[in-house]
Structure 1
Amino acid sequence: MSERLLIRVRALTPRTFETRLREIRIHRGLSKVVWERAHRILRDVQERGDEALLECAARFDGVVLSRDRLRVELEAVRAAYREVSREAIRALALVKRRLEWAERRWLDALKRVRVVADGVVIESVPRPIRSVGCYIPGGRAAYPSSVLMSVVPARLAGVERIAICSPPMRETGEVHPLVLVAADLCGVTEIYRVGGAAAIAALAYGTATIPPVEKIVGPGGPYVVAAKLLVAERVGIDLPAGPSELVILADETAPPEAIAADLMAQAEHGEESLCGLLTTSRRLAQETARALSARSCGAARREIIRQALARRGFLLYTEGDLDLLVRFANALAPEHVQVMTRRPRVVARALTQAGLVLIGPHSPASASDYVLGTNHVLPTGGAAAAYSGLSVLDFLKRVTYAECARRSLARFLEPVRVLAVAEGLPNHYRALEERMRSVDRRVRR
């Protein structure tokens, strides 16, 4: 049955560790074609502004827009409410409340730090970024939850200007109504019918219609990820948040049907989604393969799921070596690691390289995408080794203030002289020396 899905059950041993890692990583990263096309789009938008945005909308989204329709009108937002059910609005409001609850805790933990020592006063104060652009993916699915994940922490941080870019739907030429309603619930009125790398370019460089921002956040496909990385020399970005990833770490106590359901839920994000099982039980891996085959046959978004599993799915087992699985998960540094073992909290503590670690049988990744209160904008492609998920912290910067007394500066003259000479920067010392002379001349007068 597993051959029908083109996903094999294979052993993981110390000898095959690096080979299996390379096999999974081979599809990671961005191709030369993606980098080159993203660069061309960025340059085009930088040079031609709105005209390039309109051409990109026609070429990539199949939507013909005029310049005055790049920005979403208030009437379109009002009309969106007529297309969205009350249940959906209530669900969005719940996600918003849950996220605010968690993000406020992170904000409360930030403190103004003041250090006084040897006549020097140093203060470090968190300050919000002034303007942020939030990219919200579109295309095959609507992601109103991504609006909440990006905008709620920015609002709580105190960001003054928040702009949203999202591609228009081919059928209507409008941003998806759920995205518009989610933006309205968050109080965002600056919304643009622009998607892909062109949206990133507009937010970074600015056009006649879209003023530039100081930071760009939000998930996206390969072209969006490439564009964000390319403009990072000009504006701040959050993290490389590309195709979704889920690694389930399980032992023989985990139910194969639940594992299959979780992997399929992740796979339906797109054909590039990474979905895999690491288990201490060969039998569990085989039962999961059979469950995937059976469940995917009649599933919604069946073709996307099967292509994702065939392209980037894996089922690996060890002969009871849980430590090896933990090492493998940490080496992958995926977006999500879901722990379904007999003692999940103990295992979770050893997982240090993941965007989000989900503990126990009742903490599936699909719940974290919406209602747990965690943010679903997470590092992918191994970036979890160095990046964290999006939070209120990403919309704040620390401004440091320092004040030195004259007596202290006098005491620092000699160590500054020694280091300045050693580094070939003699004017650093002379700047301090001149201050001391100036003060002495004023005192003598």
Structure 2
Amino acid sequence: MIRRIDLRGTAADSAVPVDYRAAVPRAEFDVEAAIHVVRPICDAVRDRGVEAITEFAARFDGVTQEGPDGIVVPPAALERALELLDPGVRAGLEESIRRLRVTCAAELEGDVVTDLGPGARVTHRMVPVGRVGLYVPGGLAPLVSSVLMNVVPAQVAGVESIALTSSPRKEPFETFGSGLPHPTIMAACALLGVEEVYAVGGAQAIAMFAYGAGPCRRVDLVTGPGNIYTVTAKRILKGIVGIDSEAGPTEIAILADDTAVASHVAADLISQAEHDPLAASVLVTPSESLAAEVEAELDKQVSATRHVERIRTSLGGRQSAIVMVDDVEQGLDVVNAYAAEHLEIQTEGAAELAARVRNAGAVFVGGYTPVSLGDYCAGSNHVLPTAGCACHSSGLSVRSFLKAMHVVDYTRDALAEVADHVVTLAEAEDLPGHGAAVRVRFED
């Protein structure tokens, strides 16, 4: 079911070193190839607004949305969804929200004031984004947890205007008919006090946020995961609107040795494989016995899962593998090069090893910290960089919804102290007007 890649004997100090990032391939996720499909959708929303959005809803989602307000989720539907929410699901959401608020509040940065001399002050000021559009996938799985992961950090950051959208469903919900997002997604919006909710999915949702359409005013920033079409729309519209990232299919890497429990490792690989046929599940280990036991566990556990075909496709794809290494040290080099969205460390001395990880969206330490915990209730955020982008990018956090702004405040005497330097540097750049703007202040 899952292939093996043998990297033993290829460490950096060996006679035949290998580029580990290239050695562990990822799924084909060609955003450029989708541009010719997505650009006309974005242009249509820009030019025709809600009319185009409702046409795409009929074509792609099989639902009919009437008039400019047809894309709006009524407040009554949100409240009704919350009333009908399973008490156990509500309790889980409330605890997830509580934990995420705690970590977001701890990450919130205050202003930093630097006095560079008498009358010379620079303030590093953190300012929340004014209006954000949050995208929540509703395709293969209704990702209600993504409502929390988007909304809570935005609220803690102090964003004043929050709009959220998710795909309309063909199946009717209660007395409200079809054309609404999944009930659990709507219930989570109500639980968090998000009142501006739209039933729009796909590339047209990103374009709606970027350009504005009907009742939806344009936003400053769009966040949230999605499929290749929403990711492509983000690439096309980046600059017109801010984006968090171009997130691709989900991925997990597990660095494990003989101390790991094979059934746990296999379950964790399956947990990400069930997201998407393109999801990547990678085990990196020096242990032949663990590799064999995990293969046996995968054969046993996959057949007992609900989404068997999806999982088998993912585990059997080029993006998934058991990677054999000489030792844990080489394994650490491999996972750092791979830069996984999710990285589990299930080894002896896991905490020490985790402290040496440079590249990962999030690191899960030890045998009792599975990625599933982070997906829901760890207090961390699960909107993370994929496709190796963890080597230069971070996951969604309260910082994603803040902008840094320098506020410069100098008196006349403070300016006079550096005036000659400003004039000299301006002349060096052949920008005499810059120097003149300083000199004129002292001509009297």
TM-score by length of 2: 0.93
User: What is the match of residue 128 of structure 1?
Assistant: 128
SS of corresponding position for 2:65: coil
2:82–2:191 Cα contact (<8 Å) kept: no
Residue identity matched to 1:101: V
User: What is the match of residue 379 of structure 1?
Assistant: 385
User: What is the match of residue 151 of structure 1?
Assistant: 151
Inter-partner Cα distance in structure 2 for 1:239 and 1:231: 12
C-alpha displacement at 1:235, in angstroms? 1.7
User: What is the match of residue 184 of structure 1?
Assistant: 190
C-alpha displacement at 1:292, in angstroms? 0.9
2:82–2:190 Cα contact (<8 Å) kept: no
User: What is the match of residue 94 of structure 1?
Assistant: 95
The 5 A counterparts of 1:7-406 are 7-13=2-8, 14=10, 18=18, 21-22=21-22, 24-27=24-27, 29-67=29-67, 68-107=69-108, 110-118=109-117, 119-172=119-172, 173-311=179-317, 312-319=319-326, 321-406=327-412
Inter-partner Cα distance in structure 2 for 1:81 and 1:112: 38
Distance 1:426 1:25, change over 3 A: farther
The answer to whether the aligner puts 1:415 opposite 2:421 as a matched pair is: yes
Inter-partner Cα distance in structure 2 for 1:59 and 1:364: 39
The Cα offsets for residues 283-334 of structure 1, whole Å up to 9 and x where unpaired, read as 2112211211221123111111111111121101113x22221111111111
Q: CA RMSD in A?
A: 1.6
Inter-partner Cα distance in structure 2 for 1:350 and 1:377: 22
- Structure 1: gaps spanning 5 or more residues: 441-445
**Greater displacement, 65-74 / 261-270:** 65-74
The Cα offsets for residues 209-233 of structure 1, whole Å up to 9 and x where unpaired, read as 2111111111111111221222221
SS of corresponding position for 1:254: coil
**Greater displacement, 25-34 / 385-394:** 25-34
C-alpha displacement at 1:40, in angstroms? 2.2
1:17–1:328 Cα contact (<8 Å) kept: no
2:82–2:188 Cα contact (<8 Å) kept: no
C-alpha displacement at 1:9, in angstroms? 2.3
Residue identity matched to 1:93: E
Residue identity matched to 2:261: P
Distance 1:335 1:197, change over 3 A: same
Inter-partner Cα distance in structure 2 for 1:193 and 1:327: 44
C-alpha displacement at 1:424, in angstroms? 2.1
Equivalences, count: 430
Inter-partner Cα distance in structure 2 for 1:59 and 1:99: 37
Residue identity matched to 1:227: A
Inter-partner Cα distance in structure 1 for 2:417 and 2:81: 67
1:39–1:230 Cα contact (<8 Å) kept: yes
- Structure 2: gaps spanning 5 or more residues: 173-178
C-alpha displacement at 1:61, in angstroms? 1.3
Residue identity matched to 1:268: E
2:27–2:280 Cα contact (<8 Å) kept: no
2:29–2:248 Cα contact (<8 Å) kept: no
